[in-house]
Amino acid sequence: MPHKMILALSALLAFAEPASAAALKIVNKTREPIAEVQISHGSGWGPPQLDGRPIRFGESRTLRWVADGKRRLMLKNAGGEECILDGIDFEEGKVLTVTDRVLTLCK
């Protein structure tokens, strides 16, 4: 295999699986559907995560390919009201259960 081909293949594999990618499972135990979720990686907000499919009561969704560590999370209901939660830990196997009590912690 030519040297350039090996380098190109290595570069593609490096981008295909981030070394520090994590996941967070969100479980909705509130009365309202979670219409949208966005993650902040520092300044500003990342793209919407739910692809137009809300998380209804009792349902869950796993957010993947987020760098390990603590992040800000913005939840929105169908009316566009925002709930911002700080210090949410993205790590493989973590679960965030959103309850009405959790929503009282919104900023």
CATH superfamily, domain at 19-103: Domain of unknown function DUF5300 (2.60.40.2890)
Is the pLDDT assigned to residue 2 strictly greater than 60?
A: no
**Whole-angstrom distance, CA of residue 60 vs CA of residue 68:** 20
* Residue ranges per structural domain of the chain: 19-103
Is the pLDDT assigned to residue 35 strictly greater than 90?
A: yes
Is the pLDDT assigned to residue 39 strictly greater than 80?
A: yes
Q: 56-106: per-residue pLDDT in tens?
A: 999 999 987 777 788 889 999 989 999 999 888 887 778 889 998 888 877
